[in-house]
Chains A and B, each alone.
Chain A
Amino acid sequence: MEAVQTIQETEEEITDEFSLFDNWEDKYEYIIDLGKKLKPLSAEYKIDINKIKGCQSQVWLTANEDDGRIYFKADSDAVIVKGLVSMLIRVLSGHTPQEIIDTKLDFVNKIGMTNHLAQTRSNGLLSMVKQMKNYALAYKIKQQS
């Protein structure tokens, strides 16, 4: 396998980027921008089987494995969630199942976005993280067999 940036390195990178913002508006503007820039999933993937239902917004997630690494693609109908989704993909996509299973996603707390993963948000984001880890677990089992 070629050397790629570790999950931890990407998390630190994002944390550094966020340390530049001194007010919440700039921070959210950046996340909204990330959301707008995330390439939309094509309609063929926006199907029920890929849908992670939240109470308020929807997230679609797909995963595929290539050479022992997992690559994620996702989309959401709400732009802030989409921005957060974009960061999760940046951190987790392209890593091995074990690396994805092991990560605790500490950066979410460091950039002050923990509340978006809280139960009350019901926005599918927490379920998305679980689903990403489930994919990792499934591919790991597949690799071992």
Chain B
Amino acid sequence: MISADTDIKPFDVTAIRKEFPVLQRKVKGKNLVYFDNAATAQKPQVVIDALVSYYQQFNANIHRGIHSLAEEATAAFEATRDTVKDFINAKYREEIIFTHGVTESINLVAATWGRQNIKEGDEIIISGMEHHSNIVPWQMLCQEKKAKLKIIPVDNNGELIMDEYEKLITLKTKIISIVHASNSLGTINPVKEIIEIAHQHNIIVLVDGAQSAVHLDIDVQNMDCDFFVLSSHKIYGPTGVGVLYGKKELLEEMPPYMGGGEMIKEVTFDGTTYNDLPYKFEAGTPNIADTVAFKAALDFVNEVGKDNIRKYEVALTKYAMNKLSQIEGVRLVGAAKHKTSVVSFIVDGVHPQDMGILLDNYGIAVRTGHHCCQPLMNRFEIPGTVRASFAMYNTKEEVDELVKGVEKAVKMLR
């Protein structure tokens, strides 16, 4: 039994829960059990306060106004950039580009670096466990440039087959875009090793940190990735804010993504010169309020301590995997050695959607379906899974509720 592990209390979860107002609410008359954290995490009061206070006290458009409000808003916006820089240990603050989220960050790279560097016959490598947002932008690029998309296969445990990865690399390979942690299985990929091999062949690597940034310590310099992308809303921050980190020399070479205000130096009808990094990639008025509040989320995570959160989540995940696998007919999908706090499972003879509908009636929010990873689901020959993903505020008692709910649902559905 692994349950003893959950008695390790790296922090006071009762106190943590009080910071998240939504956890107090009822769903269908029952206490909400929120296990859909890999889709989006709930927001602590400090983040909500930061949003409200931005609009109450210093709403202004940033960077160009010379009045006090504009200066304060600009300072708050740019403070988030510094916090993000430290959060992922980037070398320079101008390597941090704000976007709307991971999807936009990846599209930006595909549309700028990709269009500039990918030529007919070139090859792009992704893996068999990518989210659709790390598949489709590359497919679109390949279609446009007549390039080829190659896939690192996944084994039965839900891990990448690294030998096959090396075999995929040819002289035509230009970029590898790889997920750090799988959203549907939780698998943590050996990105450092992947990058090292790629760099031996002068291949650029983009790491999709949508799922990893909230759980793992991110050090882009140590990892040596060329691009790293993340989304605020999965790190307890507001929706609509994402980050593209890129090595400065790469970003400088890349053409702009969108044209408009902020990204320019000088505009005449004969032509335009572009602004310096990071503004070259931040056309138009950005999502100022949410970006400002994102800092509060990162500060909150830093304060609780990523290491503490991780220890707790790992113990909770082990406990859930152990308990769920004891239910007759339950099969866990994804048994990678290194995992984030994601438990994906299917039940013999039960459609994941039916399970999700019944669990919702018990007040339990899980994700069901293909998790935007249809190719991966096809690999396992299943229509989808039921996914429970844990955050710092989840408890052992909530896992027990899930186990009870699954048992009851199975009885009803069989």
Contacts of A29 in B (CB 8 A): 412
Interchain CB contact under 8 A, B369 and A28:
no
Residue from B351, B353, B358, B369 with most neighbouring chain A CB atoms (10 Å): B353
Complex: chain A residue closest to B383, CB-CB: A77
B354 contacts A by Cβ under 8 Å: yes
Distance, CA A77 to CA B50, complexed state (A): 45
Interchain CB contact under 8 A, A28 and B358:
yes
Complex: chain A residue closest to B351, CB-CB: A78
Query: Which range contains the number of A residues in contact with the other chain?
Result: 10 to 19
Residue from B356, B357, B370, B408 with most neighbouring chain A CB atoms (10 Å): B357
Interchain CB contact under 8 A, B354 and A79:
yes
A residues 73-110 near B (Cβ < 8 Å) are 77-81
Interchain CB contact under 8 A, B412 and A56:
no
Contacts of A56 in B (CB 8 A): 352-353, 356, 368-370, 383-384
Interchain CB contact under 8 A, B354 and A24:
no
Interchain CB contact under 8 A, B351 and A79:
yes
Distance, CA A57 to CA B28, complexed state (A): 23
A residues 15-74 near B (Cβ < 8 Å) are 24-25, 28-29, 32, 55-57
Interchain CB contact under 8 A, A80 and B354:
yes
Interchain CB contact under 8 A, B383 and A80:
no
Interchain CB contact under 8 A, A24 and B28:
yes
Interchain CB contact under 8 A, B413 and A57:
no
B156 contacts A by Cβ under 8 Å: no
Interchain CB contact under 8 A, B369 and A55:
yes
Distance, CA A24 to CA B28, complexed state (A): 10
What number of A-B contacts does a CB cutoff of 8 Å give?
42
Contacts of B412 in A (CB 8 A): 25, 28-29, 32
Interface string of B348-366 (1 = CB under 8 A from A): 0001111011100100000
Partner pick for B353 among A24, A28, A78, CB 8 A cutoff:
A78
Interchain CB contact under 8 A, A57 and B361:
no
Contacts of A57 in B (CB 8 A): 351, 353, 383
CB distance from B29 to the nearest CB of A (A): 9
Contacts of B356 in A (CB 8 A): 56
Contacts of B370 in A (CB 8 A): 55-56
B residues 101-129 near A (Cβ < 8 Å) are none
Interchain CB contact under 8 A, A78 and B354:
yes
Known: A24-B28, A28-B412, A55-B369. A80 touches B353 (CB 8 A): yes
Distance, CA A32 to CA B412, complexed state (A): 8
Contacts of B413 in A (CB 8 A): 32, 79
Interchain CB contact under 8 A, B353 and A81:
yes
Contacts of A77 in B (CB 8 A): 351, 383
Contacts of B351 in A (CB 8 A): 57, 77-79
CB distance from A127 to the nearest CB of B (A): 15
Contacts of A116 in B (CB 8 A): 357
CB distance from B372 to the nearest CB of A (A): 10
Contacts of A79 in B (CB 8 A): 351, 354, 413
Distance, CA A55 to CA B361, complexed state (A): 20
CB distance from A41 to the nearest CB of B (A): 16
Contacts of B352 in A (CB 8 A): 56
Complex: chain A residue closest to B360, CB-CB: A115
CB distance from A58 to the nearest CB of B (A): 8
B residues 244-284 near A (Cβ < 8 Å) are none
B residues 1-52 near A (Cβ < 8 Å) are 28
CB distance from A143 to the nearest CB of B (A): 37
Interchain CB contact under 8 A, B361 and A28:
yes
B residues 318-374 near A (Cβ < 8 Å) are 351-354, 356-358, 361, 368-370
Interface string of B220-235 (1 = CB under 8 A from A): 0000000000000000
B residues 158-186 near A (Cβ < 8 Å) are none
CB distance from A28 to the nearest CB of B (A): 7
A residues 102-133 near B (Cβ < 8 Å) are 116, 123
Interchain CB contact under 8 A, A80 and B361:
no
Distance, CA A102 to CA B383, complexed state (A): 35
CB distance from B320 to the nearest CB of A (A): 22
Residue from A28, A77, A81, A123 with most neighbouring chain B CB atoms (10 Å): A28
Complex: chain A residue closest to B357, CB-CB: A80
Distance, CA A81 to CA B368, complexed state (A): 14
B residues 380-412 near A (Cβ < 8 Å) are 383-384, 408, 412
CB distance from B211 to the nearest CB of A (A): 20
Residue from A29, A32, A56, A123 with most neighbouring chain B CB atoms (10 Å): A56
Offer 17 A-B interface pairs, CB within 8 angstroms, sorted by A: A28-B357, A28-B361, A32-B412, A32-B413, A55-B370, A56-B352, A56-B353, A56-B369, A57-B351, A57-B383, A77-B351, A78-B351, A78-B353, A79-B351, A79-B354, A81-B354, A123-B353
In the A-B complex, the 5 residue pairs with the closest CB atoms: A78-B351, A56-B369, A56-B353, A78-B353, A57-B353
